[in-house]
Chain A
């Protein structure tokens, strides 16, 4: 569960920075970029809350 949350968090960060790059190269519009960044923000905060600052489960 924790690993899944971590993976989703990192993916949302990747999307946060890929979206403006896509806008830069003209692949998406500014409005679409804003929507993607908003979704990535929500996903980051929700998923990061599940694992950041919490103790790792024993293996």
Chain B
């Protein structure tokens, strides 16, 4: 899963980035590799196993899904970013007007809070190993022990305080920890494989032996665990493609790629996808599959104990640091989104409030244990605004429609963009509610994107009829 980029406060927030501030490819490769190796990867990998994926589906589904995600960054997000060189919020304000951006900020902030909450949950599972309190199971919705509540509260309070007062320090720790964390994630996989070979008595002498072990012991397919949705090849592909939908199709990363010299620098996202969303998901899922192999009744997805069994204290530190360093910028970003709504409140106060909200969310394991569905919902909610930006930038000039309508007519709200956003989300959620397998939350965002484009074009034609000469 992805985490928000480290904020670049007051860096060309209201103006195009000048060429003197453009950055080379290397800066983006390192940033994506580090930021997509997050605490939540330790939840997502195991949840794939809980969803009954087979080896072929998970390996090739991830290869394809991540490729589609990289192409979305390269072909949808980065080309607009390097032409307009504006932040997402600036671009949105020109199109949608200030009031609609405020609503977008609210939705964004709330989703960031829940995401940060799941990262706090991940870190708290590491404390459970040390203090040995009861931790939530796979199907738990509510906190199940005082120890769990206190652990989440302690970690959440610390993260909130640091996000408010010491953001730069954590940012530095995150940069230092990133290369080490990537290797520890890889180590999880190597250790897990060896343990699998030992407990199953299978010897691996060739790639063919390894693939047989993967098919028959690790990702066996079959029914999902109770309460989980069965994942097929297409579920894995669409999940990998859309788990960062808010960033690529949703255009959040306009803010990042406005600093890129060329639009093909979007390919840098491959470092994050194939390190974090391929290698890390697979290695984390190996550890969980081993746990199920040893005790099929032990279905709890708890990154702390999983990591500790494989790598000892280093594994635990990896879980805490991965959760902490990614929850921190997420809370910071959520705070900035909320502060845009109440600009007179201090940033510190808003960030602490946001952190406490995330901590509260983190106490409820329902979010972390249902992370696959939550991440898909997160992408769906923010995706239509990306479609609006895409349509406004590329299609409007060809149709003779006015770009940046709100800015041009000094509107506080562009109802055509608002309709495209809200109607798309409403239609997609209704489709999900219909229960048809084709319209699961993992799939509806694709037709939803085309729907958002169509609604925005249709509504804009009506809106601009006779107004724009």
Contact = CB atoms under 8 A, between A and B. Distances in A.
A33 to B, nearest CB: 7
Contact of A41 (B172, B186, B314): B314
Nearest to B309: A30
Nearest to B193: A24
Nearest to B172: A53
B190 A34 contact: no
Interface residues of B, number: 21
Interface stretch (B48-56, B95-103, B174-182): B174-182
Contacts of A16: 180, 183-184, 187, 314
A56 B312 CA distance: 35
A11 interface: no
Given A13-B180, A17-B183, A34-B313, A24 B190 contact: yes
B190 A45 contact: no
Nearest to B191: A20
Given A34-B312, A34-B313, A53-B172, A41 B180 contact: yes
A18 B183 CA distance: 10
A13 B176 contact: no
B84 interface: no
A30 B290 CA distance: 15
Interface string A16-44: 11011101100000100111011011001
Contacts of B194: 20, 23-24
Shortest Cβ-Cβ A-B pairs, 6 listed: A34-B312, A37-B314, A20-B187, A20-B190, A41-B314, A24-B194
Contacts of B177: 45
B175 A53 contact: yes
For chain A, which range describes its interface: under 10, 10 to 19, 20 to 34, or 35 or more residues?
20 to 34
Contact of A38 (B183, B193, B312): B312
B314 A45 contact: no
A49 B314 CA distance: 18
B176 A38 contact: no
A7 interface: no
A49 B184 CA distance: 19
A37 B175 contact: no
Contacts of A19: 187
B176 A49 contact: yes
Contacts of A21: 190
Contact of A34 (B176, B186, B195, B314): B314
10 contacts: A16-B184, A17-B187, A20-B191, A23-B190, A24-B191, A33-B311, A41-B180, A41-B317, A45-B180, A53-B172
B179 A13 contact: yes
Interface in B78-109: none
Contacts of A38: 312-314
Contacts of B183: 13, 16-17
Interface in B311-327: 311-315, 317
Contacts of A49: 176
B190 A37 contact: no
Interface string A47-58: 011001100000
B311 A34 contact: yes
Nearest to A47: B176
Contact of B175 (A24, A30, A40, A52): A52
A18 to B, nearest CB: 10
B311 A17 contact: no
Interface string B372-395: 000000000000000000000000
A37 B186 contact: no
